[in-house]
Structure 1
Amino acid sequence: MLIWLIKKLFGSYFELSTIFSLTFRVIFSFFLSLFSFLYIGPKCILWLRRMRCFQIVRDYGPKSHYSKRDIPTMGGIILISVTFFSILLCSQINNFYVWYVLFALLGYGVIGFVDDYCKLVKKDNSGLGCFGKYFWQSTIALFLLFIMFVIDNRKISDINLVIPFFKEFSLKLGIWYLLLVYFVIVGSSNAVNLTDGLDGLVIVPIIFILTGIGLTSYIVGDLNFANYLYIPYVEGVKELVVVCAIMIGASLGFLWFNTYPAQIFMGDTGSLSFGAVIGTMAIILRQELLLLVLSGLFVLEALSVIVQVIFFKSFGRRVFLMAPLHHHFELQGCPEPRIIVRFWIISFIFMLLGLINFRIQ
């Protein structure tokens, strides 16, 4: 939108090739979202405090979390707002991939907001409930699939599933590809949501993943790079580099206030929406399995919950002291800051593994 406005106002007077270059827009959009968050963040935190939007802590959770009951939640509202308006200002809004991202961001953001609001009203951690949350997540994911593959006429028969680290081998899933795409969006959203349990724990891995996706967007969107690295070329996805830069800037701004000890939490409003956007971008880039590598930490956290539930219902025993995995280490007596930083390191390693994939031929 900003690009269109500059063209209209000054296009006949100035040489604007630098302003419209991808590099300039990536840098400009990053700082725009970062400083926008840093500016409005303190004001929003004060407003959330006045509205008494405080974190709801589970009674059966770690006792160290009781001190977090006076910390505002729903910081995802700021994340979504800054990201949304920065994308409108800095990206090419005629690129339909950008609108896929915005749809996932706002759709899952609404689900998270309603869930957070229900928690505040009920004064417990149930929110929408598992069924209600999953139903609406599925509804939005299926509608997004409908737009991608029916309205835009994206042919499933032309899509092969790219296998990371095996450049000359791919799978043709046919109609089953739609099921994979559905689980990538819903699974990514829920995995990020499950990981969001400690101060700053989830936002730094999100930054690492967005960095990996941003670099992947540039590679996949460049015909020469894609051919050289034996990966599918997708026209127009370079614009997602700008989107990733915006989300990284907003995430760093959020980390400024969310780092230990946190001044604000993102709540389901932020975790569900950012998780869904990450999954959506992986689908657009046709790198669904690469996302499993980049977001390896989130996968481990989600698997710990699945394993815990299966073992408890099947054998009446728990594998972990508490799931997700970060709570297990908390109950073992590991200090919260140490868990957070170690999980950041693990996430960084997964990002490097994902990027190494492009150099293996």
Structure 2
Amino acid sequence: MLYYLSQYILDWAHGTEWESRLSFLRLFRYITVRCAGAAVTALILSWWLGPKIIRWLKDLKFGQEYPDKAEEAGLSNTRVNKKGTPTMGGVLIVLALIFSTMLWAQWNAQVELTMLSVFVLAGLGFYDDYAKIMKQSGGGTPPRVKLITQFSLAAFVGIYLWNLPAMSELHLLGSKTVIHSNLVTDLMLPFYKYPVHVGVAAGILVVMLAIVGSSNAVNLTDGLDGLAIGCTLIVGFVFLFFTYLAGNFKAAAYLQIPFVPGAGELTVFCAALLGAGLGFLWFNCHPAQVFMGDTGSLALGGAFGIVAVLIHQPLVLVIAGGMFVLEALSVILQKGWFKFTRLKTGTGRRIFLMAPLHHHFEKKGWHESQVVMRFYILCVLCAVVALATLKLR
């Protein structure tokens, strides 16, 4: 909004005495300036809205009065009592994120598609949180309904991008050769320079797995105070770099990564996400005043998936979000092995003491804060490896 307003004023002032006086408005043309503005706006908005939303959720009695899986498994002795802590705190993140992005970004197709996905997934998460509160149990929206909604959204995104002209351009150094690629049918591999053609079916499948997988992986990680949002901030920082470089012709050509026109505006979105996330962490750090809930986790995870697809780097998300992947794999392996061994021997066996993975370490005697900080460290290492793919190819 501010970009369009500033350009309108500059066009109006062109050729008049006001042109030189209003020249500072040209700053809004720079993505770096608008990124800083988006991050600060989202942070301040989160700080300002936080106490109000927490009080509102408490007044509505949107608190977690039912025991979660960790408490049922006997982990309550190692934790601060969390009963009554309001959930749906993701509303705070989503409001700050959407407002700040709309205020500072140019509204191109990439931004609009990302915002649509965030809105849909936040709505799905809100409905799920509300269902849990009304039932006062951990069972909210049926898993089948959630997956159908997520896969439908992801399929829409994949088909939409497939029908667009080739948006990704790889400019080879030392030659005038330009490799044009479709964001869906051509796949970029980490540590490999050239796009690999995978076809429509496989390409759409990758898009769906990126969006649905990341959405649910962040959701599974959201089990300890500050864990999911802290890891989200680290991964968001990685994609802040990737989106800026993907939208910058010279930087993309130098690093030999795909240049995607318009992707630079996703940098503003990522900056707003970082600001909103930092503001939320203020209230979500141990002991948490509010929980993110599915409202935030499904939306943030899905946002990473679609951003990765839009900059033609879906597999980099697997590296940058390595901790999210491990959390999701721990659940899949635990359930799969339990069912397999029960079928074969009549008695189900477990790989981990408890899944997701963070509860396994709690069971081993780690304090909640230890688990969170150590997961942060591992997440930073994953982020470093992801950033290394920019040059090692």
Instruction: Tell me the TM-score normalized by structure 2.
Output: 0.87
User: C-alpha displacement at 1:156, in angstroms?
Assistant: 4.6
Q: Percent identity?
A: 38
Aligned equivalents of 1:159 and 1:122: distance in 2? 43
Query: Which residue of the partner structure matches residue 81 of structure 2?
Result: 67
Aligned equivalents of 1:265 and 1:38: distance in 2? 15
* Maintained 8 Å contact 1:156/1:177: no
* Maintained 8 Å contact 1:57/1:66: no
Q: Summarize the alignment of residues 161-240 of structure 1 with structure 2, pairs less than 5 Å apart.
A: 161-168=187-194, 170-175=195-200, 176-240=202-266
- Classify the secondary structure of the residue corresponding to 1:124: coil
User: C-alpha displacement at 1:171, in angstroms?
Assistant: 2.1
Moved more, 127-136 or 273-282: 127-136
Aligned equivalents of 2:247 and 2:104: distance in 1? 18
Aligned equivalents of 2:232 and 2:7: distance in 1? 34
User: C-alpha displacement at 1:220, in angstroms?
Assistant: 1.4
- Classify the secondary structure of the residue corresponding to 2:43: helix
Aligned equivalents of 2:46 and 2:80: distance in 1? 28
The AA in structure 2 aligned to 1:345 is: I
Note the aligned Cα RMSD (angstroms). Answer: 1.7
Moved more, 49-58 or 183-192: 49-58
Moved more, 299-308 or 231-240: 231-240
Aligned equivalents of 2:287 and 2:80: distance in 1? 13
- Classify the secondary structure of the residue corresponding to 1:68: coil
* Maintained 8 Å contact 2:334/2:355: yes
From 268, 272, 284, the counterpart of 1:258: 284
Q: Summarize the alignment of residues 103-118 of structure 1 with structure 2, pairs less than 5 Å apart.
A: 103-118=116-131
Query: Which residue of the partner structure matches residue 324 of structure 2?
Result: 298
From 95, 103, 117, the counterpart of 1:81: 95
Query: Which residue of the partner structure matches residue 4 of structure 2?
Result: 4
Query: Which residue of the partner structure matches residue 58 of structure 1?
Result: 68
User: C-alpha displacement at 1:163, in angstroms?
Assistant: 1.3
Aligned equivalents of 2:131 and 2:114: distance in 1? 26
Query: Which residue of the partner structure matches residue 100 of structure 1?
Result: 113
Query: Which residue of the partner structure matches residue 367 of structure 2?
Result: 335
User: C-alpha displacement at 1:10, in angstroms?
Assistant: 5.9
User: C-alpha displacement at 1:166, in angstroms?
Assistant: 2.3
Q: Indicate yes or no: 2:58 matched with 1:49.
A: yes
- Residues 325 and 21 of structure 1: CA distance in aligned 2, closer, same or farther (over 3 Å): same
Equivalenced residues, count = 358
Aligned equivalents of 2:352 and 2:83: distance in 1? 25
* Maintained 8 Å contact 2:131/2:140: yes
Runs of at least 5 residues in structure 1 that lack an aligned partner in the other structure? none
User: C-alpha displacement at 1:332, in angstroms?
Assistant: 1.2
- Classify the secondary structure of the residue corresponding to 1:319: coil
- Classify the secondary structure of the residue corresponding to 2:199: coil
- Residues 321 and 157 of structure 1: CA distance in aligned 2, closer, same or farther (over 3 Å): closer
* Maintained 8 Å contact 1:200/1:340: yes
Q: Indicate yes or no: 2:105 matched with 1:91.
A: yes
Structure label with greater radius of gyration: 2
User: C-alpha displacement at 1:358, in angstroms?
Assistant: 1.1
The AA in structure 2 aligned to 1:6 is: S
- Residues 88 and 191 of structure 1: CA distance in aligned 2, closer, same or farther (over 3 Å): same
Moved more, 327-336 or 245-254: 327-336
User: C-alpha displacement at 1:159, in angstroms?
Assistant: 4.4
User: C-alpha displacement at 1:63, in angstroms?
Assistant: 2.3
The AA in structure 2 aligned to 1:49 is: K
